[in-house]
Structure 1
Amino acid sequence: MNFFELVIMALRTILGKPMRTLLTMLGVIIGVGSVVTLVSIGQGTAAQIEKQYENLGTNLLVVNLLGNGRATQLDYEDLMELEILPEIESIAPTVTKAGSNVKYERTSESFNVIGTNDRYFTLMKTELAAGRELVPADVEFRNQVAVIGSEAAKTLFGNVDPIGYDINIDGLVFTVVGTLKEKGSNIGGTSPDSSVIVPIETARRAFKLGQIRTTYLEAPEIGQLVTAQNTITQFLTYKFKSSNGFRISNQDELMNARKEASSSLTNQLISVALISLLVGGIGIMNIMLVTVSERTKEIGIRKSIGAQRRHILMQFLMEAAVISGLGGLLGLLLGIGASLSWPLFNPGQPTELSLEIGIYAFLFSVFVGIIFGLYPANKASRLKPIDALRFD
């Protein structure tokens, strides 16, 4: 009996009781489907993270102050003097006021207000939709002007061009001088789309924001990033008399940290999904034991007319493999469907299908079926013809 005859015989047998077969395959279907879906979500998240950081370039440093008090304060002028160094191209200190009430006429909404300088737009790789960005004179003279993100512009003004109109931010009037194109999330999940950007000195004085907490620095090229990081580390250590009051991160560190956290969570979820595959294997073993019991006389008849032990073994082993293989195939289709439809229900979570992982999950399901089918198949092959024929 060749391979294809065994497959056809196995299909006829298991399709004879479709409901029992489907219930037997359920654990395998859920396991394979879960693995494919979770991997696609994990890879989609990793790709999204990588895209966010690539949008900012790879030669960017982020300085965060950790302490409080005058011992860990930075002045705007002190920071900007570092631009004379050859390893530092530009610097954009920032202060942020989250959840500010921004109002235009009768429309009012909460947005983040970011106080910064003209370099910020270049470092964040933003693009103008209309008007202009901040200029050095806005910072120097503390002008009450604002550049607003695409979401803020749409919410406050609808289809009206906001350039030249006044908005009210927490009771203070600012003139809109520019709007930004849609960009998406930046580092830390913040987005220029839902932000109002004003001159840093204006923000510090008007909203009493105090010291600068976050600063973005850019090296001229990726090869000078380490030198720039060492320079700013030495500067801050000397100024604060300690290296504990700040944290400096570069793009690779931030991206790798977030991708590692996402990968770790995905792997844990996949481990849980694989358990359902093993449970499905146990279900296959149970149903095959029942099948052996039900077909004992059939086994006796086949042996009495010349079927050898290996023929019986291969017959039942093939049935277990076909059950798990069909379950794996259905699970693969289920996982592909879930992966493609997931962004429709959760637009903020992209997915990225991996054919390689899908094939591995399918092959693993077949392997599980064979492993858990060995015992029932071996039991069937060891039956003695005389005992099998007398079985009631």
Structure 2
Amino acid sequence: MSLVELLIMALRTITAKPLRTLLTMLGVIIGVGSVVTLVAIGQGTSAQIEKQYEGLGTNLIVANLNGNGRATQINYDNLMQLEILPEIDTIAPVVSKAGATVKAERESDTSFSVIGTNDRYMSVMKLSVAEGRFLVPADQDFRNQVAVIGSEAAKTLFGLGNPIGQELHIDGVVYEVVGVLKEKGSNTNGTSADSSIIVPLSAATRASKMGSIRTAYLEAPTKDDVATAQATITQYLTYQFKNENGFRIQNQDELIKAKKEASSTLTNQLISVACISLLVGGIGIMNIMLVTVSERTREIGIRKSIGARRLHILLQFLAEAMVISGLGGILGLALGVGAAWLWPLMNPTQPTVVSLNIGLYALGFSVLVGIVFGLYPANQASRLKPIDALRFD
């Protein structure tokens, strides 16, 4: 009996009871669909992370400052003096507060992320101004209470009106809006510059009491200078905090790798959970095939009595299990691709990337599940003796 004949016979058998077949395939369908969807989301997240960091250039260094004992603060002026070194081009220290209460003149209280920084922040984060201006050195020097707001924040607070020259109340402190940013999208840390409000660091620490510098963005002149710049800032911060426990420095490649590893770990954990559905589907296939063997005992006896060998019976039932799991895999693949296509429509900030290889692997694994869990029922059917099978009622 050829493979084509086996598959045709298996298709005829399983389509005779379509509802039971569909219910049997359900675990495989859900398992394969979940794997394809989760991998598409994970790869989309990785691609988005890489794109975000590439948009900031390849010479970015990020220093996270936690402090050490009494040495918990870094002096702004001392930090900025590092710009005179040839290996460091730009420094943008940052203090921030998520969920600050912001109120425009005619609007109710709204929560926004407020960032205190200097004039270098725009170039480091690759931002552009749509209206007005960005921060200037004088704003930092004279602690001017001015603010540059993101495009989304401008729409929320001022609607269609012109925000330039208007007043904002940030946690009760009055700031004048001097600029509006062009739409940017999400930052590398997952927040959006579009819904942020940027004020001078000196005003943020004094007037708004947002604390000391906890992050500093540094740019080296070229990618080749990154290692030297990283060593320099490490040496400086070690001196300031007396050891290396008070800070953490990462360059662009390290940031991308860390983000991707975190995303990959979460995706793999979710895929492991989804694979349980495939195993449950395999158990369902084994169960229904055992029932099928019981229902078709007389048929097996007749086939054996007219010359069918044990191998023929084994292959017949094994082919049925493979077809059930294979069809379930195909339907699951279609479900996964469809879900991956719909996901960005429901979550515009979360892209997906459908991988053909993962789809084929999931499909192949579903067929393997059919073979593994169908082997025992097929073996049971092939071992039936013709005389006993014909007597079965």
Q: Which residue of the partner structure matches residue 141 of structure 2?
A: 140
RMSD: 1.8
Question: Cα distance 1:70–1:378, how it changes in 2: closer, same or farther (>3 A)?
Answer: closer
User: In structure 2, the residue corresponding to 1:188 is in which secondary structure?
Assistant: coil
CA distance in 2, matches of 1:273, 1:168: 48
User: Could you tell me how far 1:69 is from its partner in structure 2?
Assistant: 6.7
User: Could you tell me how far 1:28 is from its partner in structure 2?
Assistant: 1.0
User: In structure 2, the residue corresponding to 1:196 is in which secondary structure?
Assistant: strand
Does the alignment pair 1:361 with 2:362? yes
- Say which is worse superposed, 96-105 or 230-239, in terms of deviation: 96-105
- Say which is worse superposed, 113-122 or 65-74, in terms of deviation: 65-74
Structure 2: runs of 5+ lacking an equivalent = none
TM-score, scaled relative to structure 2:
0.94
- 1:184-207 deviation line (CA, Å, top 9, x unaligned): 222432322122112222222211
Does the alignment pair 1:26 with 2:61? no
| Mapping 1:10-159, distance limit 5 Å | 10-67=10-67, 71-108=71-108, 109-159=110-160
Q: Which residue of the partner structure matches residue 263 of structure 1?
A: 264
User: Could you tell me how far 1:65 is from its partner in structure 2?
Assistant: 1.7
Q: Which residue of the partner structure matches residue 273 of structure 1?
A: 274
- Say which is worse superposed, 271-280 or 9-18, in terms of deviation: 271-280
Asked if the contact 2:37/2:336 (under 8 Å) is kept, the reply is: yes
Q: Which residue of the partner structure matches residue 205 of structure 2?
A: 204
User: Could you tell me how far 1:44 is from its partner in structure 2?
Assistant: 1.8
User: Which residue identity is paired with 1:95?
Assistant: V
User: Could you tell me how far 1:264 is from its partner in structure 2?
Assistant: 1.2
User: Could you tell me how far 1:210 is from its partner in structure 2?
Assistant: 4.1
Does the alignment pair 1:251 with 2:252? yes
Does the alignment pair 1:388 with 2:392? no
CA distance in 2, matches of 1:301, 1:180: 81
CA distance in 2, matches of 1:287, 1:171: 68
User: Could you tell me how far 1:92 is from its partner in structure 2?
Assistant: 0.7
User: Could you tell me how far 1:48 is from its partner in structure 2?
Assistant: 2.2
CA distance in 1, matches of 2:288, 2:114: 63
User: Which residue identity is paired with 2:193?
Assistant: P
Q: Which residue of the partner structure matches residue 378 of structure 2?
A: 377
CA distance in 1, matches of 2:202, 2:37: 48
Q: Which residue of the partner structure matches residue 5 of structure 1?
A: 5
Q: Which residue of the partner structure matches residue 302 of structure 2?
A: 301
User: Could you tell me how far 1:81 is from its partner in structure 2?
Assistant: 0.9
Asked if the contact 2:30/2:277 (under 8 Å) is kept, the reply is: yes
Structure 1: runs of 5+ lacking an equivalent = none
CA distance in 1, matches of 2:210, 2:289: 71
User: In structure 1, the residue corresponding to 2:189 is in which secondary structure?
Assistant: helix
**Aligned-residue identity in percent:** 74
User: In structure 2, the residue corresponding to 1:333 is in which secondary structure?
Assistant: helix
User: Could you tell me how far 1:68 is from its partner in structure 2?
Assistant: 6.3
CA distance in 1, matches of 2:197, 2:333: 46
| Mapping 1:215-226, distance limit 5 Å | 215-226=216-227
User: Which residue identity is paired with 2:89?
Assistant: E
CA distance in 2, matches of 1:78, 1:70: 18
User: Which residue identity is paired with 2:202?
Assistant: E
TM-score, scaled relative to structure 1:
0.94
- 1:305-335 deviation line (CA, Å, top 9, x unaligned): 2222222222111111111111111111111
Question: Cα distance 1:296–1:70, how it changes in 2: closer, same or farther (>3 A)?
Answer: closer
User: Could you tell me how far 1:249 is from its partner in structure 2?
Assistant: 1.9
Asked if the contact 2:68/2:245 (under 8 Å) is kept, the reply is: no
Q: Which residue of the partner structure matches residue 349 of structure 1?
A: 350
CA distance in 1, matches of 2:29, 2:42: 20
User: In structure 2, the residue corresponding to 1:111 is in which secondary structure?
Assistant: strand
CA distance in 1, matches of 2:69, 2:165: 39
Question: Cα distance 1:356–1:387, how it changes in 2: closer, same or farther (>3 A)?
Answer: same
- 1:232-288 deviation line (CA, Å, top 9, x unaligned): 111111223222222212222222222212211211121121122122112212211
